[in-house]
Amino acid sequence: MTPFTFNTSKSIQFGAGLLKRIGDLARTHAGARVMLVTDPGMMQTGIVERALKLLDEAGVSVELFKDVAADPPEGIILEAADIAARAKVDGVVGLGGGSSLDVAKLVSILALGKEELKNIYGVGNAKGPRLPLILVPTTAGTGSEVTPISIVTTGTNEKMGVVSPVILPDIALLDPELTLGLPPHTTAATGIDAMVHAIEAYASISLNNNPISRLLATQALTLMGRSILRAVQQGSDIEARSDMLLGSMLAGQAFANSPVAAVHALAYPLGGHFHIPHGLSNALVLPHVLRFNSKTSPQPYAELAPYAFPALSRLEGQERAAAFCDELAELALACGLQPNLRAMKIPEDFLPRLASDAMNQTRLLVNNPRPVSEADALAIYRAAY
């Protein structure tokens, strides 16, 4: 067996209603003064107010940072880290979607003033130490609560990643009740995003693709394949919400160790230039990237297909892989997501720029089962148009 490394969060706590533990957990593991990192949308849900009350009751004082933006730019991260440093917080709590959790991760390391953001982009450049870190996801999508990755928008439209086991949190607290208020479109986009994580982790040609990641990916697809439509159409179904949140976390653990590939590489320019939510960007290119890959590497997709869509077990080989791509495209439509790039009002003459920018995502493209040239990327965008 090929040697591999598998890292994940130190403690994972999962269950409906577990937000009630946030005060005691923060007091015990993060200290008497914490920064709570969240976003304006979360401020309107009542969840932040509940968390603040629980922290106060536990004797934890809070420096609230509520200005996280989607696809967080460097400026937001640096501002939050500066406030945390000046407030001399003992730890950091991230509460919200993937953007809030990603910012919280970076605040935990930058607030100590020992490393600069510009120096820790890439793999393994963040060395630590960091402040104690607790992450509480409110979407079932990114799996950021169990990944050593934080994505930052640099300049105007390019995304870069900080990848280091140092930013894995001390505690991931997953409460499916926090996802009950997610709108259907957000549920769909984040859910497809999580499925992409499982698919790309399983098919990745990374040298660290490993049996644990593959097992987690199949379980994640089993949970989400049976529940995503129900979660979208019946948002108060706690069983479906639990399946999605657990599936998202398992997929996060999988791709945290067996990295994602061309779907993400082609999705990032869509978010960078047109501010399309990350999950939707993935959904728009997913079937087209998989069809491209399946021409030379159908096996991983044929193996995965029955976990998400049990009826596909009657097919075999290339036929099953092709049907898997078709089913994923139909699932996205059934969930109410936009069908193509044209529907997102992306100018067709901009596609070459997207293809050019996708080539900058070398960290991801090296993991793809089939090499992707700029001409290939352009062809995939055209197919998605």
Contact 307, 218 (CB under 8 A): yes
Measure the CA–CA gap between 374 and 365, rounded to whole angstroms: 11
CATH topology of domain 11-179: Rossmann fold (3.40.50)
Q: What is the DSSP letter of 340?
A: S
Establish whether domains 11-179 and 184-384 are of one fold: no
Q: What is the DSSP letter of 115?
A: S
Measure the CA–CA gap between 316 and 312, rounded to whole angstroms: 8
SS3 label, residue 149: strand
DSSP string, 60-101: -EEEEE----SS-BHHHHHHHHHHHHHHT-SEEEEEESHHHH
* pLDDT tops 90 at residue 185: yes
Residue 211: both structure tokens together? 């049996």
The residue with tokens 């991801």 is: 364
- Nearest CA to 131 out of 98, 87, 96, 97 is that of 87
* pLDDT tops 90 at residue 159: no
Contact 240, 347 (CB under 8 A): no
Where residue 71 falls among pLDDT bands split at 50, 70, 90? confident
Measure the CA–CA gap between 228 and 276, rounded to whole angstroms: 21
Contact 287, 301 (CB under 8 A): no
* pLDDT tops 80 at residue 156: no
What is the percent of the chain with per-residue pLDDT over 90, rounded to a whole number? 96
Measure the CA–CA gap between 305 and 322, rounded to whole angstroms: 10
Measure the CA–CA gap between 127 and 108, rounded to whole angstroms: 12
Measure the CA–CA gap between 256 and 147, rounded to whole angstroms: 5
DSSP string, 305-328: HHHH-GGGGGS-HHHHHHHHHHHH
> What are the pLDDT digits (tens) for 225-236?
999 999 999 999
Residue 7 confidence (pLDDT):
96
pTM of the prediction?
0.96
Residue 155 confidence (pLDDT):
78
| Helix 211-233 vs helix 317-334: crossing angle, to nearest 10 | 40
Cα 126 to the center of its chain, rounded Å:
20
> What are the pLDDT digits (tens) for 197-218?
999 999 999 999 999 999 999 9
Q: What are the sequence ranges of the domains in the chain?
A: 11-179, 184-384
> What are the pLDDT digits (tens) for 2-45?
999 999 999 999 999 999 999 999 999 999 999 999 999 999 99
End-to-end CA, the chain? 42
Residue 157 confidence (pLDDT):
74
Q: Is the bond into 137 cis (omega within 30 degrees of 0)?
A: no
Beta strands 158-163; 149-154: pairing state? antiparallel
Where residue 1 falls among pLDDT bands split at 50, 70, 90? confident
Residue 183 confidence (pLDDT):
95
Contact 381, 351 (CB under 8 A): yes
Residue 264 confidence (pLDDT):
97
Residue 96 confidence (pLDDT):
97
| Helix 262-274 vs helix 351-358: crossing angle, to nearest 10 | 130
Residue 224: both structure tokens together? 């989400």
Residue 196 confidence (pLDDT):
98
Residue 246 confidence (pLDDT):
98
Measure the CA–CA gap between 102 and 246, rounded to whole angstroms: 19
Residue 166 confidence (pLDDT):
97
Q: Which of 63-72, 95-104, 147-156, 298-307 has the lowest mean pLDDT?
A: 147-156
Cα 204 to the center of its chain, rounded Å:
16
Q: What is the DSSP letter of 130?
A: -
* pLDDT tops 90 at residue 76: yes
Residue 243: both structure tokens together? 């399946």
Residue 371: both structure tokens together? 């090499």
Residue 82: both structure tokens together? 């500066």
Residue 158 confidence (pLDDT):
81
Q: Work out the average pLDDT over 348-377.
A: 97
Residue 109: both structure tokens together? 């390391």
Measure the CA–CA gap between 276 and 292, rounded to whole angstroms: 23
CATH number given to 184-384: 1.20.1090.10
Phi-psi region of 17 (alpha: psi -120 to 50; beta: other; left: phi over 0): left
Contact 260, 196 (CB under 8 A): yes
Quote the mean pLDDT of the chain: 97
Where residue 116 falls among pLDDT bands split at 50, 70, 90? very high
Where residue 319 falls among pLDDT bands split at 50, 70, 90? very high
Measure the CA–CA gap between 275 and 87, rounded to whole angstroms: 32
* pLDDT tops 80 at residue 367: yes
